[in-house]
Amino acid sequence: MEILENGKFKYIERYEDPKTKNYRKKSTTMNSNSRRAWNEAQRILNAKIEAALTESKKEQTTGFVDNEKLFSETLDEWFYIFVHKPNGHPPKGSTVSNYSYIIGLMKNKYMIDEMDYKVKNMDFNDVQKVYDRLFHEYNFSIKYIEKFKLIIHATFNHAYKNKYIKNLDPLTLSKIPTPIRTIESMEAESIPQYLEKEELEALLDRTKKMNVGYYSVFYVQAYTGLRIGECLALQEKDVEGALLHVKGTYDNVTKSPTRGEKTIPKTKKSFRSVDISQGVIDCIENRIGLNLLIPKKHNDYIFISKKGNPYDISVLNTFLRKMKDELNLKTKLSTHIFRHTHISMLAELGVPLNVIMDRVGHSDRGTTEKIYTHVTNKSKSDLINKLNEL
């Protein structure tokens, strides 16, 4: 028994945790230290210890800790650990930003009711209804629904690891609806967009007249296949003659914990050296020379704004959206279009698929192969048309 500063009495009893074999404590506070108070404290403590031992035995038997955790609380727990206490490398800023955005949609629009469900009571029907709602009511694509699915899976896996739920039935039994597929939809899904050579030249020409800084970024992307983050992360020391050494990606995502930093590449395959043409060499050297005129330059990044920092990707994409309308292009424009366009140009030149994949740092054949196949099939069709003209 301990006498507290407020004059009350704290009664403490130790017991052995059968799971860990360590001693734990239970306590209760009484207003006096009379014999009656001692007896009452002992009764309360015995009940607390008995409840703890019963719950421990139940946990060992069922693998489940009875709890009142809401789905929203479990989601927040997982996301906090994902961001602040990662087992390996901290997550990329773009990943944190994307997850944060989807979680906001889940909480405020698409899973409002489910957020208040007790996670232990949720079954596969609760999750299935979410997928059905996103597909049938909101007409979201499978690819977009998979973003929600990823976070839902992570939340339930966190709950299972912490014994908030007894099984993973909500995940294993629920599925995203399968859309009715048509030839048109399959073609639309299968071919990543890219610019034709004349479209690229028109876009670069117009950009050069409006903003020579943006032009240098787009030109290097189009003729190297670099991701925009990789391009913005290029420093003067990464240029060695006719080689570009890709050693990281620049993070300028607003909600990212690593905003404004050069972080590790997307994958192991992304860490590479890229052969560059004389045109790219000239573009980079010209840009390095222009950077000497920037008074606030305090780093050796190559593609920087007048403030001395690498360009903001959202600003570049906003500019490209305006260019799409101005040039009346059908292709949706973003900085990633230059990467796809580079792949298409190499495919048109007959460069082998595996060489293209190594060059652009693709470990998955998917996107590269789809563009490659589409371009080569188009070339065959063009050849047949030319043969018919003989």
φ, ψ at 222 (rounded to 5°): -65, -30
| Minimum mean pLDDT range among 106-115, 177-186, 236-245, 352-361 | 177-186
Q: Which residues, 6+ apart, have CB-to-CB distance to 367 below 8 Å? A: 192, 340, 343
What mean pLDDT do residues 129-147 have?
A: 94
- Alpha-carbon distance 110 to 136, whole Å? 13
| CATH 1.10.150 boundaries in the chain | 71-184
Where do we find the tokens 């006719």? 242
- Alpha-carbon distance 246 to 12, whole Å? 62
Both tokens assigned to 46 = 């015995």
- Alpha-carbon distance 68 to 389, whole Å? 76
- Alpha-carbon distance 244 to 290, whole Å? 19
Q: What is the 3-state secondary structure (H, E, C) of 256-308?
A: CCCCCEEECCCCHHHCEEEECCHHHHHHHHHHHHHHCCCCCCCCCECCECCCC
Quote the pLDDT of residue 338: 96
Does the pTM exceed 0.75? no
Residue 29, sorted as left (phi over 0), alpha (psi -120 to 50) or beta, turns out to be beta
Contact yes or no for 17/56 (Cβ under 8 A): yes
- Alpha-carbon distance 335 to 249, whole Å? 14
Quote the pLDDT of residue 269: 79
The model's pLDDT over 282-330, given as tens digits with 9 standing for 90+, comes to 999 999 999 999 887 888 999 999 888 899 999 999 999 999 999 999 8
Quote the pLDDT of residue 185: 56
* CATH of the domain spanning 71-184, picked from 1.10.3470, 1.20.1070, 1.10.150, 2.60.40: 1.10.150
Quote the pLDDT of residue 259: 72
Answer yes or no: is pLDDT of 59 > 70: no
CATH 2.60.120.10 assigned to domain 197-388? The reply is no
Radius of gyration of the chain measured on its C-alpha atoms: 30
CB-CB neighbours of 169 under 10 Å: 15
Both tokens assigned to 82 = 């994902």
| CATH 1.10.443.10 boundaries in the chain | 197-388
Confidence of residue 64 (pLDDT cuts 50, 70, 90): confident
Confidence of residue 368 (pLDDT cuts 50, 70, 90): confident
The model's pLDDT over 194-225, given as tens digits with 9 standing for 90+, comes to 999 999 999 999 999 999 999 999 999 999 99
Quote the pLDDT of residue 198: 95
Quote the pLDDT of residue 268: 79
